[in-house]
Structure 1
Amino acid sequence: MSSKTKPQTKSAKVIAQLSRTIGATLDEICKATNWQQHSARAFLTGLRKKGYALAREQRGDDGTAYRITQNPSDKEPKGAA
């Protein structure tokens, strides 16, 4: 790996976590980004506003997991038949 690679942003890390089959819990997002829970929740809200579809699922004793079910690029363009 080159030392000149661009560092992965926190947003990219969270989107990668949410794209997994099992998704990610708020605690996992907070640990990966060093954000507080209210910041992680605000990020999820921002993703929804950008057109991401998020599913909220119960993950046993781990609590609630969030998972991206649709990216904005997966949706049909507006005005399409």
Structure 2
Amino acid sequence: MINTDNAERATKRPRKMAREPNIEVTVPASPNRPSKANLVLDLLMRSEGATLDQLVAATGWLPHTTRAALTELKKKGHVVTSDKVDGAARVYRVVTA
């Protein structure tokens, strides 16, 4: 004989349904604050250009990340040049047409 009192307690709770998706309107980044990629581009477009140390200090990125950003600028069609003067750091520039 089966005890029905225990059978009622042994049943599982009904499963909870997944939550409704939380649909919110996302506000884009403030137009007053440029992205770091735009900051790099602005530094490179200066007449004196920018060294890797200056780019790292301005963005807070590691040097290899900063070099990857230079590569991305090249992929986007910008002409990035680098000049090395004896005894000085390498200077990167974006050539404008």
Q: Which structure shows the bigger proportion of residues in helix conformation? A: 1
Q: TM-score range by the shorter chain?
A: 0.7 to 0.9
Match of 1:24 in 2: 50
1:44 counterpart = 2:70? yes
Q: Distance in 1 between matches of 2:95 and 2:66?
A: 18
Q: Which has the larger radius of gyration?
A: 2
What is the SS of the residue equivalent to 2:33?
Answer: coil
What is the SS of the residue equivalent to 2:37?
Answer: helix
Amino acid at match of 1:30: V
TM-score normalized with structure 1 length: 0.74
What is the SS of the residue equivalent to 2:48?
Answer: coil
TM-score normalized with structure 2 length: 0.63
Amino acid at match of 2:77: G
Unmatched 5+ stretches in structure 1: 75-81
1:11 counterpart = 2:37? yes
Q: CA deviation at 1:29?
A: 0.4
Amino acid at match of 1:15: L
Q: Distance in 1 between matches of 2:67 and 2:31?
A: 29
How many positions carry a matched residue from both structures? 68
Match of 2:6 in 1: none
Unmatched 5+ stretches in structure 2: 1-29
More RCO (CA 8 Å, sep 6+) = 1
Amino acid at match of 1:68: V
C-alpha RMSD over aligned residues: 1.8
Q: Percent identity?
A: 34
Runs of 4+ in 1 over 6 A off after TM superposition: none
44 and 5 in structure 1: CA distance in 2 versus 1, 3 angstrom threshold: closer
Q: Distance in 2 between matches of 1:60 and 1:16?
A: 25
